[in-house]
């Protein structure tokens, strides 16, 4: 777990994470509203060569095409739906995975089932300075640290 004091620090953390990503990676980011999930994703996007990352809350998913594409999903509105698994399946993320990194904000159990190998990030904002922790699931993420 690391302390992240400012939005600029959260963005810089995203850049550091993004520099280690490759096609097929799945990143789940969780934390309360306003925790910095999108700012972290903007840093990840910058590391992958994307500068236009905005929250996909209302469109649910945005694809940023490039040498290494970024699929940015906000599952907030899906989580409370009757069948979040069905709606997540409708995004057809598997068809684009081999050439992209997928980042899912509010990525809970329904998102975790997409891959046995994933990086799960949690942002705690219960205090003034946020605390960010990461759990690597599967061999791909063995030894990963923030």
What is the Cα–Cα distance from 64 to 45, expressed in whole angstroms? 9
With respect to residue 34, please indicate whether it lies within any of the assigned structural domains.
yes
Q: Are 101 and 70 in contact (CB under 8 A)?
A: yes
pLDDT of residue 62: 81
Which range of residues forms the domain containing residue 114? 2-138
For residue 104, tell me if it sits in a domain: yes
Q: What is the pLDDT of residue 60?
A: 72
- Structural domains counted in the chain: 1
Strand partners, 102: 26, 71
CATH number of the domain at 117, please. 3.40.50.300
Does the pTM surpass 0.85? The reply is yes
Which SS3 state, helix, strand or coil, does residue 146 take? coil
Question: In this predicted structure, what is the pLDDT of residue 57?
Answer: 67
Query: What does the pLDDT read at residue 82?
Result: 58
> What's phi and psi for 31, nearest 5 deg?
160, 165
Residue tagged 């280690």 (tokens): 20
Q: Which residues of the chain have pLDDT under 70?
A: 57-59, 77-96
Burial tier of 77 (Cβ tally within 10 Å: 0-12, 13-18, 19+)? middle
Integer-rounded Cα Rg, in Å, for the chain is: 14
Q: Tell me, what's the pLDDT at 140?
A: 96
């Amino acid at each position: 777990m690391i302390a992240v004091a400012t939005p600029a620090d959260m963005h810089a953390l995203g850049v550091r994470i993004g520099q280690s990503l490759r096609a097929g990676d799945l990143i789940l980011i969780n934390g309360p509203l306003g925790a910095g999930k999108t700012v972290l994703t903007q840093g990840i996007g910058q590391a992958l060569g994307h500068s236009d990352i905005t929250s996909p809350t209302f469109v649910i998913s945005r694809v940023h095409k490039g040498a290494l594409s970024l699929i940015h999903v906000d599952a907030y509105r899906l989580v409370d739906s009757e069948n979040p698994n069905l709606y997540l399946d409708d995004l057809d993320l598997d068809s684009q995975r081999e050439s992209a990194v997928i980042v899912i904000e509010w990525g809970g159990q329904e998102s975790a089932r997409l891959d046995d190998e994933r990086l799960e990030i949690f942002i705690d904002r219960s205090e003034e300075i946020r605390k960010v922790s990461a759990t690597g699931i599967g061999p791909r993420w063995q030894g990963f640290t923030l």
